[in-house]
Amino acid sequence: MALSDVKCRNARPVSKLVKLSDGGGLQLWVQPTGSRLWRLAYRFGGKQKLLALGSYPLISLAEAREARDTAKRLLLRGIDPAQERKSQKVSAENTFRSIAEDYVDKLKKEGRADRTITKVKWLLDFAYPTFGDKSVREIDLATILATLRSVEVRGRYESARRLRSTIGSVFRYAIATARADVDPTIALRGALVCPTVTPRAAVTDPKALGGLLRAINAFDGQPTTRAALRLMALMFPRPGELRAAVWDEFDFETSVWSIPEGRMKMRRPHRVPLSRQAVSVLTSLREISGGGSLLFPSVRSGSRPISDNTLNAALRRMGYGKEEATAHGFRATASTLLNECGNWHPDAIERQLAHIENNGVRRAYARAEHWEERVKMMQWWADYLDELERKSTLVISIGRRGKPAVHTPSRPSTLNPTATAHQTEMNLQPDDQLGVGHPATVVGQKRTSQ
- For the residues 286-310, what does the mean pLDDT come to? 85
At residue 133, does pLDDT exceed 60?
Answer: yes
- Note the pTM of the prediction, 2 decimals: 0.57
Kindly name the residue from 331, 374, 422, 447 that is annotated as catalytic: 331
Kindly name the residue from 328, 351, 374, 407 that is annotated as catalytic: 328
Kindly name the residue from 47, 109, 300, 365 that is annotated as catalytic: 365
At residue 64, does pLDDT exceed 50?
Answer: yes
User: Known catalytic residue: 328?
Assistant: yes
The three state secondary structure string of the chain is: CCCCHHHHHHCCCCCCCEEEEEECCEEEEECCCCCEEEEEEEEECCEEEEEEEEEECCCCHHHHHHHHHHHHHHHHCCCCHHHHHHHHHHHHHCEHHHHHHHHHHHHHHCCCCHHHHHHHHHHHHHHHHHHCCCEHHHCCHHHHHHHHHHHHCCCCHHHHHHHHHHHHHHHHHHHHCCCCCCCHHHHHCCCCCCCCCCCCCCCCCHHHHHHHHHHHHCCCCCHHHHHHHHHHHHHCCCHHHHHCCEHHHEECCCCEEEECHHHCCCCCCEEEECCHHHHHHHHHHHCCCCCCCECCECCCCCCCECCCCHHHHHHHHCCCCCCCCCCCHHHHHHHHHHHHHCCCCHHHHHHHCCCCCCCHHHHHHCCCCCHHHHHHHHHHHHHHHHHHHHHCEEEEECCCCCCCCCCCCCCCCCCCCCCCCCCCCCCECCECCCECCCCEEEEECCCCCC
Kindly name the residue from 164, 179, 214, 238 that is annotated as catalytic: 238
User: Known catalytic residue: 391?
Assistant: no
User: Known catalytic residue: 355?
Assistant: yes
Kindly name the residue from 85, 121, 134, 265 that is annotated as catalytic: 265
User: Known catalytic residue: 238?
Assistant: yes
At 431 the pLDDT is: 34
Kindly name the residue from 39, 156, 200, 355 that is annotated as catalytic: 355
Q: Which of 52-56, 110-114, 183-187, 396-400 is predicted with the least confidence, judged by mean pLDDT?
A: 396-400
At 86 the pLDDT is: 73
